[in-house]
Amino acid sequence: MTEQMLSPASGRVIRIEGESRTISIFMHLHNVHVTAAPLDGVVKKITPEKGFFKPAFLRSSDFNTKNTIELETKYGDIKIVQIAGFFTRKIKCEVEEGQEVRRGERIGKICFGSRVDVSIPEGFEILAEKGDRVKCRKTSIASH
């Protein structure tokens, strides 16, 4: 039986980094800005970071205000990074360290246009492609 890794956000895939196996999803102002767990796991660590508020579709937004949620899964640790955009000034993290989460469970929200990066564990085949439109909790972005 194959395991499907769900998209943690709704939006458009703007970048797939091969070496780090990271998918970047840009959320337009009109997308739902909920962040969800892509796999079952336990919240290992939460790291908020202050930064800039550049448009989230630009590479320079890598240095924006962000919140990194490290999730321990049976396939290895993954990171879900909530990144504030130009209009965003608020990231809501709705989980705590040590909390168990299920695939598709809401873990946070970013207000207005922003970006979510998610790392893909080794052994998973990346299904998403740059330019794809994905739906939070519905689109499979990788499979094992």
Q: What is the largest CA-CA distance in the chain?
A: 43
Instruction: Indicate the average pLDDT of the chain.
Output: 94
> Catalytic site residue 61?
no
pLDDT at 29: 77
**Rounded Cα distance, 92 and 30, in Å:** 18
What CATH code is assigned to 4-143? Answer: 2.70.70.10
pLDDT single digits (tens) 62-101 = 999 999 999 999 999 999 999 998 877 789 999 999 999 9
Active-site residue, from 24, 61, 114, 119: 114
How many other β-carbons are positioned within 10 Å of the β-carbon of residue 110?
A: 26
List, in sequence order, every beta strand (DSSP E) within 1-144.
4-6, 11-17, 22-27, 34-36, 41-49, 66-73, 76-84, 91-93, 100-101, 106-110, 114-119, 125-126, 133-134, 140-143
pLDDT of residue 139 exceeding 70? yes
Query: Helices then strands (H, E): number in the chain?
Result: 0, 14
Q: 3-state class of 59 per DSSP?
A: helix
